[in-house]
Amino acid sequence: MGQDLVLYGYWRSSAAYRVRIALNLKGLAYESRAVHLVNQGGEQHLPDFQALNPQELVPALVDDGRVFTQSMAIMEYLDETRPQQPLLPGDPVGRARVRALSQVIACDLHPLGNLRVLQHLVTQFGADDAAKGVWSRHWISLGLHGMEAMLAGNVATGRFCHGDAPTMADACLVPQVYNAVRWKIPLDDYPTIQRIHEACQSLEAFQRAAPEVQPDAPAAA
């Protein structure tokens, strides 16, 4: 299997952020190629990227000429093909829990605040910035409330979401906390999430994945 990994993403994409964290946790080198989600009406809609991902979404990971899409599928693929520093626990119960925590973010919470959803609120319903803020804060707060309860109420929670090593759940959680801060959501009601987030941010793998340090991030970010 070839080792040339190319990640197509956008500096502030939560889904691409997850995959960057996963790649870094596994110590995998990769080439980053920016797909600007706003320029030219969104570079994800241009023919060259459509050929990579017909959904016109980031991220897309190219591994030895094969294209993989959907952040959750990409992370599991990396775990199966590069087993060092596993993103999922070794036992079925643990894997189910980590997948459930991950999907709280990736399946239930994040899609409602995705760029194309917010753009649709503007074009079809006339939402202004204030309305977009109300929408985003509602869904993020609701999702984090459930996540906090799942983490705080389970003995399997350790330094990280599951035990004392970061997993796929942490790779999903950290970008969502970034979004919460961006939308000015107070985190006081989520002490377990805050504690886990701080533990993650102490690791270089998470630091190097941060939006502001990506090559395509604006200078003022």
Token pair 């995705």: residue? 114
Per-residue pLDDT of the chain (221 residues; tens, 9 = 90+): 445 899 999 999 999 999 999 999 999 999 999 998 888 888 898 899 899 999 988 999 999 999 999 999 999 999 999 999 999 999 999 999 999 999 999 999 998 988 889 999 999 999 999 999 999 999 999 999 999 999 998 999 999 999 999 999 999 999 999 999 999 999 999 999 999 999 999 999 999 999 999 999 998 55
Q: Is the pTM of this model over 0.85?
A: yes
Q: What's the pLDDT at 221?
A: 57
Q: What's the pLDDT at 156?
A: 98
- Residue 114 burial by Cβ neighbours in a 10 Å radius (0-12, 13-18, 19+): middle
List the CATH number of the domain containing 10. Answer: 3.40.30.10
- Tens digits of residue pLDDT in 118-160: 999 999 999 999 999 999 999 999 999 999 999 998 999 999 9
CA 132 to chain centre: 20
Instruction: Specify whether 15 is located in the same domain as 61.
Output: yes
Instruction: Specify whether 80 is located in the same domain as 112.
Output: no
Q: Is 7 in a helix, a strand, or coil?
A: strand
Boundaries of domain holding 49: 5-85
What is the dihedral sign for C-alpha 89, 95, 101, 104? positive
Q: Examine the fold and report which residue of 46, 61, 85 is the final residue of a domain before the chain moves on.
A: 85
Instruction: Specify whether 114 is located in the same domain as 11.
Output: no
Instruction: Specify whether 194 is located in the same domain as 130.
Output: yes
Q: Examine the fold and report which residue of 35, 64, 85 is the final residue of a domain before the chain moves on.
A: 85
Residue 217: inside a domain, yes or no?
no
- Residue 141 burial by Cβ neighbours in a 10 Å radius (0-12, 13-18, 19+): middle
Residue 211: inside a domain, yes or no?
no
